[in-house]
Amino acid sequence: GEDVEQSLFLSVREGDSSVINCTYTDSSSTYLYWYKQEPGAGLQLLTYIFSNMDMKQDQRLTVLLNKKDKHLSLRIADTQTGDSAIYFCAEKAANDYKLSFGAGTTVTVRA
Amino acid sequence: EAGVAQSPRYKIIEKRQSVAFWCNPISGHATLYWYQQILGQGPKLLIQFQNNGVVDDSQLPKDRFSAERLKGVDSTLKIQPAKLEDSAVYLCASSSNDNEQFFGPGTRLTVL
């Protein structure tokens, strides 16, 4: 969606950390999400953060939210080949059910 | 817990033909969504159901697309007649609350 923007590609070496960035425009966003899509598969919900939080950690995943700048990032520690996929950022506005997605960031993990 | 099921996984049709997709949401999920994902883009919501009622169909091209969820469980999405620009992956998602949506594997439609 035009309200959510992501860089299109990221290449990372196996074992390094990956950082995927996303910006959004709707200041009323209540929840922000990261989904993973592997080739030929649907979207897998990785994690989400409520807008009153600035950080959430779940095993190798760390989500950072800068609400002032409307910037969301996903850090994947110790990136593995199985992390190669397209990662979508999405936001849900207050009083709305639908998710607005970015175009996705293709992450390629090289040996 | 079984996930969201969709069929068929792939469909190839010629323009002006009709096509239908089926979705079975996660058991107990009252809310069901249909998204269209064009190659290289993120999914875009077509229609949202709460039980068997439509909550939002503002982005559904109603001249050719229709959807129903008659008994509040399974749903079908139909395109009649199809156009070339309808080539996309059609994703079904379901949720039991406002916060989390769970997606099926999608149906990849190619219109020739």
| B104 min Cα distance to partner chain A (Å) | 5
Q: Length of chain A in residues, anyone?
A: 111
Report yes or no: B40 at the A interface, CB cutoff 8 Å: yes
Query: Taking CB atoms and an 8 Å limit, are B42 and A1 in contact across chains?
Result: yes
pLDDT at B18 over 90: yes
Q: How many CA within 13 A on the CB side of residue A39?
A: 4
For residues B43-66, average pLDDT = 94
Q: Give the pLDDT score at A1.
A: 42
Q: Give the pLDDT score at A2.
A: 52
Q: Give the pLDDT score at B1.
A: 63
For residues B19-35, average pLDDT = 96
User: Nearest residue of A to residue B38 by CA position?
Assistant: A103
Cα-flanking dihedrals φ and ψ of residue A46, to 5°? -90, -50
Q: Give the pLDDT score at B21.
A: 97
Residues B78-90: tens digit of each pLDDT? 999 999 999 999 9
Query: Taking CB atoms and an 8 Å limit, are A92 and B55 in contact across chains?
Result: no
User: Nearest residue of A to residue B98 by CA position?
Assistant: A97
For residues B46-58, average pLDDT = 93
- Would you tell me how many other CB atoms lie within 10 Å of the CB of residue A52? 8
User: Nearest residue of B to residue A30 by CA position?
Assistant: B99
- Would you tell me how many other CB atoms lie within 10 Å of the CB of residue B103? 23
Query: Taking CB atoms and an 8 Å limit, are B43 and A31 in contact across chains?
Result: no
- Preferred mutation among A20, A29, A99 to probe B, highest tally of B CBs within 10 A: A99
| Segments of chain A scoring below 50 in pLDDT | 1
CB A76 within 8 A of CB A18: yes
